[in-house]
């Protein structure tokens, strides 16, 4: 439905370029660009705990670490670190290695992250 609407608007714009020139405000243009933008602009936000974990991992050797080891070393709960690790993995800052128990290692993005 969205794509049909976009194609309809584009057809109208092509059919009446003089109306487009006269009536298209900057706000309308920005809205149309946002509507037709097929690539979502993900806003990457690292939580305070995530920042702490990245800083900790950046200052350690490159050996993969389990979230429990990270939690113990940082004085945080395992649940807090585990939740932060999932977000850091989904944002591409760390990589999960293996299962039961999983270990984590920094990606290049994580190594280059500056707080």
Confidence tier at 54 by pLDDT (50, 70, 90): very high
> What is the fold, at CATH topology level, of the domain defined by 48-111?
Arc Repressor Mutant, subunit A (1.10.10)
Identify the pLDDT of residue 21: 84
Identify the pLDDT of residue 88: 93
Confidence tier at 31 by pLDDT (50, 70, 90): confident
Q: Is the pLDDT of residue 44 over 70?
A: no
Q: How is the chain split into domains, by residue range? A: 2-36, 48-111
DSSP characters over the chain: -HHHHHHHHHHHHHH-HHHHHHH--HHHHHHHHHHH--S--------HHHHHHHHHHHHS-SS-EEHHHHHHHHT--HHHHHHHHHHHHHTTSEEEE-SSS-EEEE-HHHHT---
Can you give the pTM of this predicted structure?
Answer: 0.58
């Amino acid at each position: 439905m969205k794509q049909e609407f976009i194609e309809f608007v584009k057809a109208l714009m092509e059919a009446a370029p003089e109306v487009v020139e006269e009536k298209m405000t900057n706000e309308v243009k920005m809205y149309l660009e946002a509507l037709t933008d097929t690539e979502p602009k993900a806003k990457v936000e690292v939580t305070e705990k995530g920042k702490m974990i990245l800083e900790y991992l950046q200052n350690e050797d490159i050996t993969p670490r389990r979230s429990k080891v990270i939690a113990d070393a940082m004085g945080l709960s395992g649940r807090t670190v585990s939740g932060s690790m999932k977000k850091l993995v989904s944002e591409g800052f760390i990589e999960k290695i293996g299962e039961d128990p999983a270990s984590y290692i920094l990606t290049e993005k994580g190594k280059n992250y500056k707080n």
